[in-house]
């Protein structure tokens, strides 16, 4: 069943909320956001640690690379702006950062579980969720030690009043799909979910009380995985997405939702919101035209053209000799018409629509009133 109408009804929620927050930042409940995650919410941490990002990343909003795996802003950026807060500075970025309203610990290619391999072998980030949690604890200790006297650090009391956002697990899921298949990967998913739940309880123990946890998007619709992962035509649904992989994602999301329900029972004075990003993103992939987009399972920035415009050997922004000549994966001229930016990550246009739905509270469990984020 399509959710086109609910999404259309909340299409202006983000903008109206942002305007209100800008007019009166005091109307927003949370003075800061601390984010944990992977490339879906990394605002520059990975590229601060391993500087190398090139254009056309960032072309739409920032005018050049800004450490984000997109042509522009991410969901976390839109949420921060809607709350009247500045864009989150990466914890790992030493130059130009301002942490008075929070910090971002997410890095591209991060996993919930501690990796047992090297970045240079498999591409998995060393900054897993446990490491990100330790970074937050160290950050908090430094803030408490300075008693809020440093110009670029938050007040010591901000940690108990901040919003903690968590969106991680996708790389735990996808990194072994090629070798283990969906059924094999499923065996590790309870451990991934447990790590997220333990992290919430650990944050609670140092004063955190407000959490938003994002579930996993439908990776079976991603152009990159449709190109790379083994499947047959019978595995494709009517929208061109892989049924088996999306079924595995649904299994993971059910585990996560159930685990968060258990944590809620233990931490009854905490607000732990499960955000159904999956449903919103699936809707965009299935019905892009209903939301002002044109292309669902086709990458804007890629090489090869065809159905998916993705080639794992010539990734967005890169050049390589193919058939004797140098070929470059370039960006399309109209990213505002695409759901997928580079085959794996969303465009700014898609991220804004996802953020709008999130801010509406319609995809949160238990129901979450966006007026708690900013005044109306």
Give the pLDDT score at 208: 98
Active-site pick, 101, 278, 291, 345? 345
Give the pLDDT score at 233: 80
Return the DSSP state at 147.
T
Give the pLDDT score at 9: 37
Asked if the peptide bond before residue 366 counts as cis, ω within 30 degrees of 0, the response is: yes
Torsion angle, alpha carbons of 228, 318, 295, 287, to 10: 60
Give the pLDDT score at 316: 98
Is residue 291 among the annotated active site residues?
no
CATH numbers and ranges of domains, the chain:
4-289 (3.40.50)
Give the pLDDT score at 323: 84
Q: Which two tokens stand for residue 258?
A: 């159930």
Pick from 197, 49, 209: nearest CA to 113: 197
Other CB atoms within 10 A of residue 321 CB? 9
Name the maximum alpha-carbon separation found in the chain.
63
Give the pLDDT score at 7: 45
Give the pLDDT score at 148: 67
Give the pLDDT score at 369: 67
Q: What's the angle, vertex CA 233, arms to CA 228 and CA 236, rounded to 5?
A: 80
Residue 330 CA to residue 310 CA, distance in Å, equals 11
Is residue 370 among the annotated active site residues?
no
Q: What's the angle, vertex CA 338, arms to CA 333 and CA 342, rounded to 5?
A: 80
Write down the pTM of the prediction.
0.92
Whether residue 14 contacts residue 59, with contact meaning beta carbons closer than 8 Å, is answered with no
Active-site pick, 70, 342, 362, 370? 342
Tens of pLDDT, residue by residue, the chain (376 residues): 344 434 443 333 333 333 333 333 345 689 999 999 999 999 999 999 999 999 999 999 999 999 999 999 999 999 999 999 999 999 999 999 999 999 999 999 999 999 988 887 788 999 999 999 999 999 999 999 998 677 899 999 999 999 999 999 999 999 989 889 999 999 999 999 999 999 999 999 999 999 999 999 999 999 999 998 777 789 999 999 999 999 999 999 999 999 999 999 999 999 999 999 999 999 999 999 999 999 999 999 999 999 999 999 999 999 999 888 999 999 999 999 999 999 999 999 999 999 999 999 999 999 876 655 654 3
Active-site pick, 20, 39, 110, 340? 39
Residue 29 CA to residue 11 CA, distance in Å, equals 22
Torsion angle, alpha carbons of 111, 299, 77, 206, to 10: -10
Give the pLDDT score at 355: 97
Residue 69 CA to residue 314 CA, distance in Å, equals 16
């Amino acid at each position: 069943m399509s959710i086109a109408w609910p999404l259309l009804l909340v299409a202006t929620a983000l903008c109206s909320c942002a305007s209100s927050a800008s007019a009166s930042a005091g109307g927003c409940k949370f003075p800061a956001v601390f984010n944990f995650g992977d490339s879906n919410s990394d605002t520059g941490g990975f590229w601060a640690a391993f500087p190398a990002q090139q254009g056309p990343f960032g072309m739409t909003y920032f005018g050049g690379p800004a450490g984000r795996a997109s042509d522009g802003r991410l969901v976390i950026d839109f949420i921060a702006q809607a709350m009247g807060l500045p864009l989150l500075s990466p914890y790992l970025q030493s130059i130009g950062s301002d942490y008075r309203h929070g910090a971002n610990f997410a890095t591209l290619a991060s996993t919930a579980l501690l990796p047992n391999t090297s970045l240079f072998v498999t591409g998995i980030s060393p900054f897993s969720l446990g490491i990100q949690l330790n970074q937050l604890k160290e950050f908090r200790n430094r803030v408490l030690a300075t008693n809020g006297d440093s110009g670029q650090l938050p007040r010591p009391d901000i940690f108990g009043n901040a919003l903690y956002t968590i969106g991680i697990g996708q790389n735990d899921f996808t990194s072994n799909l090629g070798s283990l298949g969906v059924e094999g990967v499923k065996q590790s998913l309870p451990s991934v979910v447990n790590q997220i739940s333990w992290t919430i309880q650990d944050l609670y123990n140092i004063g955190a009380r407000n959490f938003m946890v994002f579930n996993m998007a439908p990776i079976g619709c991603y152009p990159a995985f449709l190109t790379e992962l083994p499947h047959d035509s019978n595995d494709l649904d009517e929208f061109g997405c892989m049924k088996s992989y999306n079924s595995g994602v649904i299994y993971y999301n059910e585990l996560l939702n159930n685990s968060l329900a258990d944590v809620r029972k233990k931490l009854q004075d905490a607000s732990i919101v499960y955000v159904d990003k999956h449903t919103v993103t699936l809707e965009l992939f299935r019905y892009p035209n209903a939301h002002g987009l044109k292309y669902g399972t086709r990458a804007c920035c890629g090489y090869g053209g065809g159905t998916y415009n993705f080639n794992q050997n010539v990734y967005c922004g890169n050049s390589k000799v193919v058939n004797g000549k140098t070929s470059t994966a370039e960006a399309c001229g109209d990213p505002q018409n695409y759901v997928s930016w580079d085959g794996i990550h969303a465009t700014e246009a898609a991220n804004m629509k996802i953020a709008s739905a999130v801010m509406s509270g319609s995809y949160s469990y238990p129901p979450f009133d966006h007026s708690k984020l900013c005044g109306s």
